[in-house]
Amino acid sequence: MSLKLLLISVDGTLGHDGAINDGIARDLGRLVKELVAMDVKVAFWSNKTWKINAAEPLAAYFSRISGVDVKLHGLAADNMPARSTGQSAAPIMQLYGAQPHETMLVGGMEEDMRAAVNNKLLLIRPDWYGAHMDYGFPMSSVSELARFCMVFALRQHPIFWRVRSGSLDISAGGPFSTMNENYAVFGADARAFAKQGRGNPDFWFYFTISSLYFSGLLDGVKYICSYPGHLVDSADADERGIAATLVRLGKCLNKGYYHDLIVRHTDAPKSQHIKAAERKFGTQLSTIRLNKRPHKNLSEHPNKTDLKIKNETILVVDDFCTSGRSSEAARLYLQAAGATARLYTWLKTINTSYEEALGDPGLKAYMPNERGEPERTQAHGYHAAIVAPKAPAEIQEIFEKYVGWKW
């Protein structure tokens, strides 16, 4: 449930235009040595063979400066498929015993973008030799790459809580509480970011990415969307926020992100001002609907044709889940359009059951609906749905490591 194989492109990462910065190379060698010591397999991946100073093969050079054996794979190196073709990474992953969601690619050139998309790999873009494209998740230094690997990619518990029952599938990365001392620090930071734009936004961006990618939750997903805020205009795209992060993630895996697939047509009261026991399904069901022509990847213009979601799996991302009324509204509307919802939230409020709406409420997916409470509900207990009891301690540990990062 974490990074097992790191594939490293040569051009733009180890060196660029035939030149290698010795300091960068040694920093990368240090990182690779630390990852290998943590049982992560590391390999170079290129369509070409490389030599250092026109004499020493690349694999031999890097193995010498890093102190570990690192091989070069690719078309010219060992007759692996060309990187731009679909499934070209499969033989390498098989060789190292890794699945796609356990593999990550570090590369900053256009060829790396094609390799990532065709193999549905998370792409980390090294910019220390300059930014050569606007794609992937940028890292300005090897230290920043090391932080992403050590803090996020090596998480052993990307999912803390999960309920799967019939058509319901909802997960949370961790627990939410500002009162429980074991969760208070990262819980308060998450709330500060989500509600006021403060805290440590990048931590929660990368927390979301690592939870979704390394857990395998994105497998089989066609599109990604987010749940709107309580105001009508809250679905407007915020390019500085989580929306831009989900765009980058979706592009890596060839999954379009539609921030306004679910829209708020009427203001709803803020859920945090309502006691959990008093929250109503109707508040959500009567104030949202689906959008036939949403905006793809924060584009200026909406789709020219209706987005086809029937028989597709849609990932819905939200920040917090308390009793699940918002998540259930998203699920029911997507089901009304013939799609399957997979729900993910950063954090789940502790000690609160998830209320699943049972039956078909007869929603018209793309129109406002006046709906009250469902005829039947089923409560899924909080504690029974915990799948990784050690996740909270891990989240606190990585939060502290992120904030105080030194390498």
Residues 167, 267, single domain; the answer is yes
Q: How many domains does the chain have?
A: 2
- Cα separation, 120 vs 7, in Å, equals 13
Mean pLDDT calculated for residue range 55-62: 86
Residues 250-292 pLDDT 10s = 999 999 999 999 999 998 876 655 666 667 888 999 999 999 9
Residues 146, 263, single domain; the answer is no
Residue 315 lies in a domain: yes
- Residue 13's CATH number: 3.40.50.1000
Structural domain harbouring 385: 161-392
Residues 281, 356, single domain; the answer is yes
Mean pLDDT calculated for residue range 177-193: 94
Structure tokens belonging to residue 343: 């729900």
pLDDT of residue 48: 87
Residues 168, 115, single domain; the answer is no
Record the pTM: 0.94
Residue 237 has pLDDT above 50, yes or no: no
pLDDT of residue 86: 87
End residue of a domain, out of 153, 179, 211: 153
pLDDT grade, residue 210 (50/70/90)?
A: very high
Residue 54 has pLDDT above 70, yes or no: no
Residue 368 lies in a domain: yes
pLDDT grade, residue 332 (50/70/90)?
A: very high
Residue 325 has pLDDT above 90, yes or no: yes
End residue of a domain, out of 121, 136, 153: 153
Q: What are phi and psi of 195, to 5 degrees?
A: -100, -30
Read off the amino acid at residue 200.
Answer: N
CB atoms within 10 A of CB 32: 24
Mean pLDDT calculated for residue range 46-72: 87
Residue 406 lies in a domain: no
Helix (H, G, I), strand (E, B) or coil at 185: helix
Residue 399 lies in a domain: no
End residue of a domain, out of 153, 188, 223: 153
Mean pLDDT calculated for residue range 291-309: 96
β-bridge partners, 344: 171, 317
pLDDT grade, residue 234 (50/70/90)?
A: low
pLDDT of residue 36: 97
Residues 177, 288, single domain; the answer is yes
Euclidean distance between the first and final Cα of the chain, in Å?
24
- The answer for 197, left when phi > 0, alpha when psi is -120 to 50, beta otherwise, is left
Residue 397 lies in a domain: no
Residue 294 has pLDDT above 60, yes or no: yes
Question: Exposed, middle or buried by CB within 10 Å (0-12, 13-18, 19+), for 18?
Answer: exposed
